[in-house]
């Protein structure tokens, strides 16, 4: 690498860039998944959920932009193509097509479970060498966790239980609440 940000070694910059690239592909996959849900959700409460998702799409697209530009700032080259998503991801494509509000939100809750855990892992990895990147990821995670609460609030009972609690697959979660 020809340059990185002052005060960071080349090898530490590479560690951060690698972590950010995986999170960039995850964010790009997430905003596509959110639009897919925006288009495929049906049934009672359609409009509320259809419209709840678009601001999150914009937020997640903005987060992808932030991470891509952080990679460039550190001297790396961000990969933002569909192939990069396919290459970087360790998870499956979102598996629910046209379905009810409850089914999609239960599946989306599982998507956010995986996403938030991985963002938190990236906080740990980057925080050891670059607190500036760590700070960016912490801010993103707080907002993503807040949106997950919005999702869960639609599924929560008066006793605080989730109908799909314990489900380990998107299809299983959707089946549990449909
Ligand atoms: Fe739309």
CA 95 to ligand 1 center in whole angstroms:
20
Whether the pLDDT of residue 13 is over 90: the answer is: yes
Quote the ligand 1 centre to 32 CA distance (angstroms): 12
Q: In this structure, is residue 4 part of a structural domain?
A: no
Query: What total number of domains does the chain contain?
Result: 1
HSE-CB of 134 using CA atoms within 13 angstroms = 10
Question: Which pLDDT belongs to residue 1?
Answer: 82
Tell me whether residue 2 is in a domain. no
What average pLDDT does range 34-39 have in this prediction? 98
Tell me: the pLDDT tens digits for 110-151? 999 999 999 999 999 999 999 999 999 999 999 999 999 999
- Per-residue pLDDT for 101 more than 90? yes
Gap from CA of 53 to ligand 1 centroid (Å): 9
Residues 6+ apart with CB under 8 A from 51: none
pLDDT-derived band at 28, boundaries 50, 70, 90: very high
> Ligand 1 centroid vs 109 CA: distance in angstroms?
21
The reply to whether 1 falls in a domain is: no
What whole-number distance in Å separates Cα of residue 43 and Cα of residue 104? 11
d(CA 97, ligand 1 centre) in Å: 16
- The helix/strand/coil state of 100 is strand
Give the Å distance between the CA of 33 and the centre of ligand 1: 13
Q: At what angle do helices 170-177 and 101-127 cross, to 10 degrees?
A: 140
- The domain in which residue 17 lies consists of 10-177
- Domain presence at residue 91: yes
Give the list of residues 6+ apart from residue 96 with CB closer than 8 angstroms, or none: 37, 40, 103, 104, 107, 170, 171, 174
- Residue 39 Cα, ligand 1 centroid: separation in angstroms? 7
**CATH number of the domain enclosing 87:** 1.20.1260.10
Residue 81 lies in a domain: yes
């Amino acid at each position: 690498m020809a340059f990185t940000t002052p005060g960071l070694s080349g090898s530490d910059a590479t560690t951060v860039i690698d972590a950010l690239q995986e999170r960039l592909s995850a964010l790009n996959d997430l905003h596509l998944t959110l639009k897919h849900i925006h288009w495929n959700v049906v049934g009672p409460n359609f409009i509320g959920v259809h419209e709840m998702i678009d601001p999150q799409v914009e937020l997640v697209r903005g987060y992808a932009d932030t991470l891509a530009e952080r990679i460039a700032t550190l001297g790396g080259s961000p990969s933002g193509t569909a192939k990069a998503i396919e290459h970087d991801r360790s998870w499956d494509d979102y598996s629910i097509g046209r379905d009810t509000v409850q089914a999609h939100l239960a599946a989306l809750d599982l998507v956010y479970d995986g996403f938030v855990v991985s963002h938190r892992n990236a906080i740990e990895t980057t925080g050891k060498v670059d607190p500036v990147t760590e700070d960016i990821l912490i801010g993103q995670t707080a907002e993503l966790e807040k949106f997950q609460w919005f999702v869960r609030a639609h599924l929560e009972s008066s006793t605080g239980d989730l109908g799909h609690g314990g489900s380990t697959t998107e299809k299983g979660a959707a089946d549990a609440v449909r």
